[in-house]
Chain A
Amino acid sequence: MKTFRNLFLCFVVLALALAVGVAVYAQVPASAAAPPAAAPAPSPSTAELATAASKAPTTNDLAKGDPGGSITGTVNDVPVSDSKTGLTLGDTANQVGQNKIAINFVWTLVTGYLVMFMQAGFAMVESGLTRVKNANHTYMMNFFVYTVGLFSYWLIGFAIQQGGSAGNSNLGGLNSLSIEHTTAIFGKMWGIFGGTGFFLSGHPYDVGVMVLFLFEMVFMDTALTIVTGACAERWKFLAFAVSSSIMGALTYPLYANWAWGGGWLSQLGSNNQLGHGYCDFAGSGVVHAVGGITALAVSMIVGPRIGKFNRDGSSNPIIGHDVSAVLIGCFILAFGWFGFNPGSTLGASANGNLRIGTIAVDTMLAGCTGTLGALLYMWMKNGKVDYSMSGNGLLAGLVAITAPSGFVSTVGACIIGLIAGVLVCLSCSFIENVMKVDDPVGAISVHGTCGLWGVLSVGLLADGTSNYGGSWNGVNGSVTGLFYGDASQLVAQLVGISTLIGFVFTFSFLMNLAIEFFVGQRVSVETEVAGLDLPEMGQLGYPEFVLKPEPDVLLHAEKQYALA
């Protein structure tokens, strides 16, 4: 009986093995089971490639011209790795991969060029909002900040910011940016700063890294140029140069690493289950709030312009000299913003990057409602349309949509812009009348206050429809704000805001306090009264202009200082 049972079990096992074997055999392609042929027949894909090659236009066809564009760019244009074999599937796949990276390179570079052109817009807005006697000085600060910022960033800033940001498949992996210095806190590893990319030398001498450098550099320079506006008309050029060098080398890159370079703010989602970590798509916080908050710190130290405040604390308007420069500058900035926000995908091909259309429209709409908010608010409040606040309203809307542009709908963008437009008016009034901080161009409100609002709005209005390769900051799924069901994302954004006003402000304040001690931040009374153009620059901005005397209230204050 026992023998019979064992025989039966052996039979069952053999039957099962046979059944599995047959099933597996059925899955194997017939060609694999067939004996090797002397000359293998071409696979269907290779045959299709050969057919396509035979149908491709000949040199004679192309010599006749291609006015319709239908025969330019064919299989003949795909490079062949081995001319004996001809075009293979591998060659085609390699070309597809290179096309993806090429599209992303070109997209990122061209949008970077647009952002670079924003420097011209900033120069025009800031100079237009200052007086004629300081025009050369203000233009020169905007001009020189590009140079000094770029140099500092090349030396060390880029390494701190992006030195550990390997893994971006849009730009080919960036695998040479592989060192992120971390520290363990409460049992979790947190990124603090990057460690490769100094001088763009060593392994980061790489085509993808160069593209990333160009794009990130122009962002950094945007942050630096914000400070020059808030401190215009009294900032000593030497102090400005030293301060900007430090900001481009340390302040900006550090925060940018935490948000974009794989640092601890971006890890709040994976380490602390706070949504997708701190999300700042194009830099309301990283670029604008860092610039605006640093501008607040430096303007406090530099102090208000002579004649700005009366003895009772009330303020006097000091009118800018060129409305056309201001408004044309605003348009240049709005144009550049189409590089700023859509370009922040770092690519146009794959990984959900086709959302660039929504991002561009969001950007456009937020600028529109920002202008509406500021213009209508000032019109209702003062009875007149104010050109400087209207321009600032446009910029406020654009600043505010910068962080959420990749995550919100067009309705969300309109709401964000509208709130920013009103907020910038209220903030300008608060900073001038309550804090007694003099900001000639409204940079602190436009970039600082509205930058913080932009960061916050991600946590409120991100609608969960974006999908950049299936995850963001290493957390699967789409970024979703409080109104769409994820309260923890709002907390991550608040941690970012707290870092901006708690850490970035304090760091900038102490750095510039040290510069005040060593260098001195402010020009002398004589220089300020005369205007900074001649004493600081040696040349008037408008040498053939006959300058009208200052308004009585300013003239009186200046005389007092000059005589004292």
Chain B
Amino acid sequence: MAANRSQGSYYTLFLGAATVLCAGIFLWSGAMGKLLFLIGAAGIAGSLYGMFRIKSLEGRTALKPSPLVMKLIGAGASLLGWVITLFGMHLTPSVTGRLVLALVGIGVSLFGIIVILPAAFNKNAVWKS
């Protein structure tokens, strides 16, 4: 299935609901703001549900399922590196110490992105078959 009317309709709903949701945040201090926020959130959920419903009509893509856990581990490693860098700023006041910890953090993040995630996505890559 290529682009179609349903896609256009659900995306229009998505944008409209996002507008209402943002209006809700803008007017959050009043009751109307909270109401708009809820309506907007419901609209976004509805649009995503609609997109999910027509997703299967797209047909087969040139992708094979890859292990979700490994993807999440890769993303987690990337995030962990950032956390190491942040805490490094508070562990030591010395510039050298902070420099080393920042580099360690960057290294951990890169390991997640360059090593773990490609391994996850390429494990069952369609071009391998």
A490 touches B99 (CB 8 A): yes
A525 touches B59 (CB 8 A): yes
* A499-511 to B contact mask, C-beta < 8 Å, 1/0: 1011101100110
Q: For chain A residues 289-312, which have a beta carbon within 8 Å of chain B?
A: 296, 300-301, 303-306, 308-311
B1 touches A518 (CB 8 A): no
Select from chain B the residue with minimum beta-carbon distance to A236.
B58
B113 at the interface (CB under 8 A from A): yes
B11 touches A238 (CB 8 A): yes
A interface majority secondary structure: helix
Assuming A303-B63, A506-B75, A524-B58, is B15 touching A272 (CB within 8 A)?
no
Checking A201, A274, A305 against B26 with a beta-carbon cut-off of 8 angstroms, the contacting residue is A201
Assuming A296-B113, A437-B118, is B99 touching A237 (CB within 8 A)?
no
B48 touches A518 (CB 8 A): yes
Give Cα distance in the complex from A538 to B61, angstroms.
20
A519 touches B55 (CB 8 A): yes
B126 at the interface (CB under 8 A from A): yes
Select from chain A the residue with minimum beta-carbon distance to B121.
A300
Assuming A505-B113, A523-B61, A536-B3, is B55 touching A199 (CB within 8 A)?
no
Closest chain-B Cβ to A125's Cβ sits at a distance in Å of 24
B81 at the interface (CB under 8 A from A): yes
Checking A156, A300, A502, A528 against B83 with a beta-carbon cut-off of 8 angstroms, the contacting residue is A502
A363 at the interface (CB under 8 A from B): no
Assuming A309-B127, A501-B78, is B61 touching A491 (CB within 8 A)?
no
A237 touches B95 (CB 8 A): no
Give Cα distance in the complex from A506 to B52, angstroms.
23
Closest chain-B Cβ to A458's Cβ sits at a distance in Å of 15
Give Cα distance in the complex from A495 to B105, angstroms.
9
Select from chain A the residue with minimum beta-carbon distance to B106.
A498
Give Cα distance in the complex from A441 to B36, angstroms.
42
A525 touches B62 (CB 8 A): yes
B62 touches A241 (CB 8 A): no
Collect the chain A residues with CB atoms within 8 Å of residue B7's CB: 237-238
A242 at the interface (CB under 8 A from B): yes
Closest chain-A Cβ to B71's Cβ sits at a distance in Å of 7
Select from chain A the residue with minimum beta-carbon distance to B68.
A513
Q: For chain A residues 506-539, which have a beta carbon within 8 Å of chain B?
A: 506, 509-510, 513, 517-520, 522-528, 534-538
B81 touches A502 (CB 8 A): yes
Checking B11, B78, B129 against A502 with a beta-carbon cut-off of 8 angstroms, the contacting residue is B78
A488 at the interface (CB under 8 A from B): yes
Collect the chain B residues with CB atoms within 8 Å of residue A557's CB: 127
Collect the chain B residues with CB atoms within 8 Å of residue A499's CB: 82, 85
Which of A434, A518, A537 gathers most chain B CB within 10 Å?
A518
Give Cα distance in the complex from A245 to B18, angstroms.
9
B55 touches A520 (CB 8 A): yes
Checking A242, A303, A309, A524 against B11 with a beta-carbon cut-off of 8 angstroms, the contacting residue is A242
Checking B1, B99, B127 against A304 with a beta-carbon cut-off of 8 angstroms, the contacting residue is B127
B70 at the interface (CB under 8 A from A): no
A408 at the interface (CB under 8 A from B): no
A523 touches B82 (CB 8 A): no
Give Cα distance in the complex from A274 to B129, angstroms.
51
Select from chain B the residue with minimum beta-carbon distance to A510.
B75
Give Cα distance in the complex from A247 to B113, angstroms.
20
A4 at the interface (CB under 8 A from B): no
Closest chain-B Cβ to A13's Cβ sits at a distance in Å of 53
B39 at the interface (CB under 8 A from A): no
Closest chain-B Cβ to A266's Cβ sits at a distance in Å of 14
B89 touches A272 (CB 8 A): yes
Give Cα distance in the complex from A129 to B13, angstroms.
33
Select from chain A the residue with minimum beta-carbon distance to B93.
A273
A228 at the interface (CB under 8 A from B): no
Select from chain B the residue with minimum beta-carbon distance to A452.
B106
A468 at the interface (CB under 8 A from B): no
Collect the chain A residues with CB atoms within 8 Å of residue B75's CB: 505-506, 509-510
B55 touches A526 (CB 8 A): no
B42 at the interface (CB under 8 A from A): no
Give Cα distance in the complex from A306 to B126, angstroms.
9
B71 touches A498 (CB 8 A): no
Closest chain-B Cβ to A113's Cβ sits at a distance in Å of 26
A335 at the interface (CB under 8 A from B): no
Give Cα distance in the complex from A268 to B7, angstroms.
45
Select from chain B the residue with minimum beta-carbon distance to A436.
B122
* B93-129 to A contact mask, C-beta < 8 Å, 1/0: 1011011001101100110011001100110011111
B102 touches A156 (CB 8 A): no
Give Cα distance in the complex from A33 to B122, angstroms.
89
Closest chain-A Cβ to B82's Cβ sits at a distance in Å of 2
B1 touches A506 (CB 8 A): no
A156 touches B25 (CB 8 A): yes
Q: For chain B residues 1-46, which have a beta carbon within 8 Å of chain A?
A: 1-3, 7, 10-11, 14-15, 18-19, 22-23, 25-26
B2 touches A156 (CB 8 A): no
B62 touches A249 (CB 8 A): no
Give Cα distance in the complex from A186 to B90, angstroms.
8
Question: Contact residues of B with A, CB < 8 Å?
Answer: 1-3, 7, 10-11, 14-15, 18-19, 22-23, 25-26, 48, 51-52, 55, 58-63, 71, 75-76, 78-83, 85-86, 89-90, 93, 95-96, 98-99, 102-103, 105-106, 109-110, 113-114, 117-118, 121-122, 125-129
List of 10 A-B pairs having minimum Cβ-Cβ separation, nearest first:
A502-B82, A535-B2, A524-B59, A498-B85, A198-B26, A494-B102, A309-B127, A155-B22, A502-B109, A522-B61
29 A-B pairs within 8 Å (CB atoms) are namely A198-B23, A199-B26, A202-B26, A234-B62, A236-B58, A241-B11, A242-B14, A272-B89, A274-B98, A303-B125, A304-B127, A306-B62, A309-B125, A310-B127, A436-B125, A437-B118, A488-B95, A490-B99, A495-B85, A495-B86, A498-B82, A499-B85, A502-B79, A503-B82, A505-B78, A519-B51, A519-B55, A535-B3, A557-B127
